[in-house]
Amino acid sequence: MQKNERVSFGSKLGAILAAAGSAVGLGNIWRFPFEAGNHGGAAFILIYLACVLILGMPIMIAEFTVGRHSKASTGKAFGILAPGTQWKLIGYLGVLAGLLILGYYSVVAGWTLEYILASLNNGFAGQGPEDFVASFQEFSQDPLRPIIWLLAFLFFTHYIVVKGVKDGIEKSSKIMMPVLFILIVVLAICSVTLPNAGKGLEFLLKPDFSKLNADVFLGAMGQAFFSLSLGMGCLSTYASYFGPDTKMGKTALSVGAIDTMVAILAGFIIFPAAFSVGIQPDAGPSLIFITLPNVFQQAFGGVPFLAALFSLMFYVLLALAALTSTISLHEVVTAFLHEKFGWKRNRAAILVTAFCVVTGVLSSLSLGAWDAKFFNLSFFDLLDFVTAKLMLPLGGLLVCLFVGWYLKKSVSRDELTNYGREKAPYFSVYMFILKYIAPIAIALIFINELGILS
Ligand code: TRP
């Protein structure tokens, strides 16, 4: 695409919602609760919030700067801003991370489709907590059913990316995001009023710092990158579609606030419900799929129609939130292949989808039929670990160094102030964090995890 032909989002709100659509997804509602659960609850959440603020916000603005200034997708942006240097490797690293995430992410996205079908059939009626655990296990370990849903989800993503419906992304986000938000608030209220919900609230709100260790820090940092869609050039690619009036600081803060609120609210849905019915908070990736049906049954069980309706709405919105995220991941990789090798978008997209079918099928099988272990992790967990906890923070670190140290300061200032038309009083704080605080913090968390500090 020629520079001057590049389409932009129709409005400033559209830009915010499209970026928020990428950010809000399974990361908030599925991954955040189970990571918080595995790492002891409130203390993890506090560190997570610190990571969002200190690392997430500045790095998001830095990615916006790279995207809007280069007006190119991440695979090309660094080559444009730093011709003849190796900085372009940041873009390649990001594209690879996106490709790897898309495979296992689509497996979980596929699970939401199974749960949509179950809600339609009113399949949760009359079941208790043990039944939900058993039926999730049976389903996720089945060699075939999750794979069919995975394929369905990938093809759906593929179709939208090939059609190139930027409009579609923007328009649908405008309706879906608010509806999802309202539903989550309603469910959180239902959940905190369940019997014995208090223990769950305590788990969420009362930090136990004795549980802190290197894994908690790495987990919180990885979750912040994953949830905000940072560290792989996803938001920088979206920023290349921002108009000249989009305020980048404000957009980053809005996206960060929406994303964090959804994650925290998801915590308020999951933990009170889990404690209420005696499900352990460290149940891992299955956590939301075994606790949520309980919320629906316990809160509306007296009126089966309402229970089915709420669970249907919830899983449909979750699937759509996942879809806006998979589109953003697929788009980055497809745009890269298209721009780098000059392949038609169609052909590039087919290759991306085919690759994800393979990694997705392997991830899905690794939860049941295929019991190979890599460093003690299933293939699914391996992909999650390598991307969220290694590649994304590394990508974020490199972006800090690129914008903080390599890129001319005037470029950052121009982008942040829309060439002097806006004020950016926080500019020097932002640059300071980008140059020193964020890279040192990321490096320390990595080093700490290796056990060198202890
Ligand atoms: N942030 C999305 C979520 O929370 C997932 C996602 C979309 C993502 N694009 C990304 C994660 C880029 C990391 C990088 O579900």
Give 298 Cα–ligand 1 centroid separation in angstroms.
31
Atom number, ligand 1, closest to the C-alpha of residue 387: 13
Ligand 1 binding pocket mutation candidate from 93, 99, 101 (most atoms within 8 A of CB): 101
Pocket flag, ligand 1, residue 157 (CB < 6 Å) = no
Evaluate if residue 251 carries a pLDDT over 70: yes
Pocket flag, ligand 1, residue 28 (CB < 6 Å) = yes
Evaluate if residue 328 carries a pLDDT over 60: yes
Pocket flag, ligand 1, residue 229 (CB < 6 Å) = yes
Evaluate if residue 51 carries a pLDDT over 60: yes
Please give the backbone phi and psi of residue 374, each rounded to the nearest 5 degrees, phi first: -120, 120
Evaluate if residue 9 carries a pLDDT over 90: no
Residue nearest (by alpha carbon) to ligand 1 atom 14: 229
pLDDT digits (tens, 9 = 90+) for 274-306: 998 888 899 888 999 998 888 888 877 778 888
Give 195 Cα–ligand 1 centroid separation in angstroms.
34
Q: According to the 3-state scheme, what is the secondary structure of the chain?
A: CCHHHCCCCCCHHHHHHHHHHHHCCHHHHHHHHHHHHHCCCHHHHHHHHHHHHHHHHHHHHHHHHHHHHHCCCHHHHHHHHCCCCCCHHHHHHHHHHHHHHHHHHHHHHHHHHHHHHHHHCCCCCCCCHHHHHHHHHHHHHCCCHHHHHHHHHHHHHHHHHHHCCHHHHHHHHHHHHHHHHHHHHHHHHHHHCCCCHHHHHHHHHCCCHHHCCHHHHHHHHHHHHHHCCCCCCHHHHHHCCCCCCCCHHHHHHHHHHHHHHHHHHHHHHHHHHHHHHCCCCCCHHHHHHHHHHHHHHHHHCCCHHHHHHHHHHHHHHHHHHHHHHHHHHHHHHHHHHHHHHCCCHHHHHHHHHHHHHHHHHHHHHCCCCCCCCECCECHHHHHHHHHHHHHHHHHHHHHHHHHHHHCCHHHHHHHHCCCCCCCCCCHHHHHHHHHHHHHHHHHHHHHHHCCCCC
Residue nearest (by alpha carbon) to ligand 1 atom 9: 229
Q: What is the pLDDT of residue 10?
A: 67
Pocket flag, ligand 1, residue 25 (CB < 6 Å) = yes
For the residues 37-41, what does the mean pLDDT come to?
Answer: 94
pTM (predicted TM-score): 0.94
Evaluate if residue 6 carries a pLDDT over 70: no
Evaluate if residue 16 carries a pLDDT over 90: no
Pocket flag, ligand 1, residue 325 (CB < 6 Å) = yes
Measured at the alpha carbon of residue 226, what is the angle toward residues 225 and 229, in degrees to the nearest 5? 80
Delineate the domains of the chain, giving CATH numbers in brackets: 3-449 (1.20.1740.10)
Pocket flag, ligand 1, residue 187 (CB < 6 Å) = no
Q: What is the pLDDT of residue 12?
A: 73
- Contact in structure between 242 and 248 (CB atoms under 8 Å): yes
pLDDT digits (tens, 9 = 90+) for 103-154: 999 999 999 999 999 999 988 888 888 889 999 999 999 999 999 999 999 9
Q: Which of 75-101 are b and which e, b meaning 16 or more Cβ less than 10 Å from the residue's Cβ?
A: bbbbbebbeeeebbebbebbbbbbbbb
For the residues 7-11, what does the mean pLDDT come to?
Answer: 68
Q: pLDDT averaged over the chain?
A: 91
